[in-house]
Amino acid sequence: MKAAILSAPRHPLGIGEMPKPAAREGEVLLRVRACGVCRTDLHIVDGELPPQLMPLVPGHQIVGEIVDGATAELPSGTRVGVSWMGGVDGTCPYCRRGLENLCDSPTFTGYSRDGGYAEFATARADFVFPLPKDLDDLHAAPLLCAGIIGFRSLRVAGVERGDNVGLFGFGASAHLAISVLHAWGCRVYVSTRGESHRKLAASLGAEWVGSETEKPPVALDRAVTFAPSGNVVIAALSSLRKGGVVAINAIHLDRIPEFDYDSLLWGERQIRSVANMTRADARDFLKTASEIGLRPKATAFPLDRANDALLAIRNDRIDGAAVIVP
C-alpha cells in the first residue's frame, strides 16, 4: 500500500510503498477514506514528543471503511472514525476510576501505532466510532481529534451555558469549539495571531476578536488556550474573573513564563491541563456535532502532498483543518 512514512524525527515524510497491515484479534482493518492533519502530528515529526515507534505512519483523525475484522456490531463496509486514543489497558487505577484518558499504558494512533497517512490502517475495534451518514469524509475527519479534544477542553474548563468564554488561538480545534459554545448560549471572545484566523473567528460569530495575547474587553468566566505557547496561557489567565478557569489544550507547551501570583492566580483562579480524551467524550461530541449540524472548514490534500499539509498547518497558511485524502 502507499503511505507517508516518518523514518526519523525532524525528517520529511517519505511517500512510498509498505506492506498492507493485517487486523489482529480484536482489531479491524480500514480502507482509509480521509485523515485529518493535527498539530500533534507536527510535534511528533519535529521530535518534540519522544519517538515511540520508528519508522511511523502518522495520522490520528481517520475516517475509514471496515474491510476486515468485521463483527455483528461493526459489519463489513461500516464507515467509522478513529481518534488519538488507540487503546488503554483497562486495568490501571485511572481506567478503573473511569479516567481512561490518563491510562498508565495507553496506545496512541499515529504515534505508538501506525496511523492514517496511508491507504489502509488497523485499529482496535472497541476504539472506533460509527459516523453519521450525513457527514462526508472530508468534514468528518477534523472532528475526530480537533473536535473531540476541543469539546473535552470545554468540559475541563467547566463551561456553563451563558458563560463568557475566551478562545486563545483559532485553528482546527477552536473553530469547531465556537459552534458548540454558541449552541450552549455562550459569548465567545477570540485572541489569535494571523489576520485570516481573526477574519474566520469574526465570520463564525465571535463577540470580539483580537491579536494573540490581546486582552478581551470583558472578564472571562472560562478560557481555553490552543496555541503551544506559555505566553498565551498568561494572556488567558490575565483575562479571567475571580474563580475562572483556563484549560490548556496542548500536548506540548514551550514553557510558562514566571508570573505574579497576587494579580493573576489569586482569587481561586485555576489553570488546568487537558490530557487526551475518552471514548465517552468522542461519543458525546459526535452526537452534539450531528445535532447542531457542525461542518468544519477543511482543505483536502492528496497523500503524496502530506508534507505540504503539515507545512500548511505549521505556517498557519489555511483556515480550519487540513485533511489528507488517499
Q: Which range among 9-13, 71-75, 219-223 shows the weakest confidence by mean pLDDT? A: 71-75
Looking at the predicted structure, is the pLDDT value of residue 217 above 90? yes
Position 86 confidence tier, pLDDT thresholds 50, 70, 90 = very high
Domain 2-143+277-325 shares a fold with domain 147-273? no
pLDDT at 208: 98
The grid coordinates of residue 123 equal 485499529
The whole-angstrom separation of Cα 222 and Cα 6 is: 38
In percent, how much of the chain has pLDDT > 90? 85
pLDDT tens per residue across span 105-163? 999 999 999 999 999 999 999 999 999 888 899 999 999 998 999 999 999 999 999 99
Looking at the predicted structure, is the pLDDT value of residue 318 above 90? no
Looking at the predicted structure, is the pLDDT value of residue 252 above 90? no
The grid coordinates of residue 35 equal 485523515
Q: Which range among 15-19, 225-229, 267-271 shows the weakest confidence by mean pLDDT? A: 225-229
CATH classification (class only), 147-273 = alpha beta
pTM of the predicted protein model: 0.90
* CA-to-CA separations, 176 to 34, 284, 285, 293, in angstroms, rounded: 18, 14, 11, 11
pLDDT at 201: 94
Sequence spans of domains, the chain: 2-143+277-325, 147-273
Q: Residue range 165-192: average pLDDT?
A: 94
Q: Residue range 232-238: average pLDDT?
A: 95
The whole-angstrom separation of Cα 72 and Cα 156 is: 35
pLDDT at 250: 87
Looking at the predicted structure, is the pLDDT value of residue 72 above 90? no
Looking at the predicted structure, is the pLDDT value of residue 214 above 90? no
CATH classification (class only), 2-143+277-325 = alpha beta
Tell me the angle at which helices 146-156 and 174-183 cross, rounded to the nearest 10 degrees: 50
What mean pLDDT value characterizes the chain?
A: 95
